[in-house]
Amino acid sequence: MGSSAPLAIADICDAYSHLLTNGELRPLPPIFQIYGRSRVFSGHVVTVKCFEDNVLVREFLAQEGHGRVLVVDGCGSMRSAIIGGNLAKRAQNNGWVGIVVYGCIRDVDDINLCDIGVRALNSYPVKPSKKGNGEKHIPVTIAGTRVCDGDWLYADSDGILVSSMELNTV
């Protein structure tokens, strides 16, 4: 690997093992499926918690992403999708680099055409409600791992890491 190539997630774990030990670098459990064209992405985290409702997610993705990653705590629900093809396309067009959904997505074929990284537990065809329930910019727990608004997220085919600080990955 040349000095200009970004470090892979496994290499980050090796280079920053002390941060894994003290909890400043936290891997998410290996429960996420990989969607979208961007297999590798990283960025500043924005958090939202919503259960089977995507109004707040829609509001975020309508804003300029500025290279950020939206982390959606969908409470692990397998009863409706939080993100579909239209929202993934909106996220791509507005400059978001990634979306991590602790829940389901739908319109997988459409999402896989988008130049954005998407991780989700699985796909499910049922759309979410539109009541506007949820919370923004709060610490969330994704499968037992704490993710805070303002953290940094790094993802590739090996997994997802969350850090309380930006890491030098080149």
pLDDT digits (tens, 9 = 90+) for 1-27: 333 457 799 999 999 999 999 999 999
Homologous superfamily (CATH) for 9-163 = Ribonuclease E inhibitor RraA/RraA-like (3.50.30.40)
Nearest CA-CA partner of 147 in 168, 119, 111, 113:
119
Supply the pLDDT for residue 7: 78
Residue 26, annotated ligand binder? no
- 82 and 101 Cβ atoms separated by less than 8 Å: yes
pLDDT at 82: 97
Q: What does the alpha-carbon distance between residue 59 and residue 95 come to, in Å, rounded to a whole number?
A: 14
* Predicted structure pTM score: 0.94
The answer, yes or no, to whether residue 39 has pLDDT greater than 80, is yes
Tokens of 42: 């990283």
pLDDT, one tens digit per residue, over 109-148 is: 999 999 999 999 999 999 999 999 999 999 999 999 999 9
Is residue 170 scored above 90 in pLDDT? no
Q: Is 39 annotated as a binding residue?
A: no
pLDDT of residue 59: 96
Q: Is residue 85 marked as binding?
A: yes
Burial of residue 39 (number of CB atoms within 10 Å: 0-12, 13-18, 19+): exposed
Q: Amino acid identity, residue 48?
A: V
46-89 pLDDT per residue, tens: 999 999 999 999 999 999 999 999 999 999 999 999 999 999 99
Per the annotation, does 87 bind a ligand?
A: yes
Instruction: Supply the pLDDT for residue 5.
Output: 57
